[in-house]
Amino acid sequence: MTRTLKRVGAPLLLLAPSLILVGVFVYGLIAANFRTSLTDIHTAGQATGQQPSQTVWFENYTALLTSEAFQHSLKNLLLYTVVFLCGTMLMGFLWAWLLERPLRGEGIFRSIYLFPMAISFVASGVVWRWLLNSNQGESATGLNRLFQMVGLDFLQNNWWNNVSYGIIAIAVPAIWQLSGYVMALFLAGFRGIPEELREAARVDGSTTWQLYRHVLFPQLSPVALSALVIIGHMSLKSFDLIMSISKPANYQTKVPAVDMYVYKSSFDYANAAAVGMILLVIVALVVVPYLVRTHRKES
């Protein structure tokens, strides 16, 4: 016992401050949030303690998940996530494929592709709000005006103001902004493949397509999985870009993160906490399997 304590004592002391901070400010606050989600704190008086509140257990979750408005938010989140994931993965992979072999001016192209990442979602959202303006005809601006000028009037539409699919329009600037990040991941994966594998495939008579399909692409599967998890959890928590382009009160672009903000702003802490816990579960369903798979692979 003493020997074990001496062996693990020093590492535990070094880790103790971090463990305490994580325990209090991460898991402790998650527990406090979950406790709030089980109460009936829906008014300012209850939130400030001037009126009594009580535990209602899972009534808030039931009310949210059965409401048409929150189901619309979940549908928007699904649409946004699918389009965002597919768009960033496809564009990022294509750019990395084009830059996979060293070429003249590669640094310039790489900088251009990565530049959108340096811009905050709020700043780019302001610009894209103008680009995705829904006005058409004589009052058209942004992309609708561009389509009008080049004779492609049939491409004009109301963008994010579409009630059913408006959230997809907001996925477009998100794809533009994060495709460069995915490109960097895939490009690093391409550059990490040993040159000996390429030479061996060529010696065996593989064509260029066979080389990529059977040798290079399989080597990129860990990179692709990491990119999927990173982009996926970012899309599930999207808030600032949506708020910059649209407004919290807009039904057509609301997602759970926006609902949480609206509930909190109106002192409905119970529903805000419930939405936060639902988002936590959704993100965990994406991240935890990846962590388990990584742990098993390392073991």
Which of 53-62, 108-117, 205-214, 281-290 has the largest mean confidence? 53-62
- 55, β-bridge pairs: 39
Supply φ then ψ for residue 237, to 5 degrees: -100, 10
Query: How many Å apart are CA 144 and CA 154, to the nearest integer?
Result: 10
pLDDT of residue 169: 92
Tens digits of per-residue pLDDT, 157-210? 888 888 888 899 999 999 999 999 999 999 989 888 888 888 888 888 888 788
pLDDT of residue 87: 94
pLDDT of residue 6: 67
Mean pLDDT of the chain: 87
What's the burial of 76, exposed, middle or buried (CB within 10 Å: 0-12/13-18/19+)? buried
pLDDT of residue 5: 63
Residue 228 CA, distance from chain mean position: 10
Question: pTM of the predicted model, to two decimals?
Answer: 0.88
Cα dihedral sign, 276-282-286-292? positive
Tens digits of per-residue pLDDT, 35-49? 999 999 999 888 888
| pLDDT higher than threshold 80 for residue 59 | yes
**Angle at CA of residue 99, ends 94 and 102, nearest 5°:** 160
Tens digits of per-residue pLDDT, 92-149? 999 988 888 777 777 788 888 888 888 888 889 989 999 998 888 778 888 888 888 8
Q: Which among 260, 245, 251, 290 has a CA at the least distance from the CA of 129?
A: 245
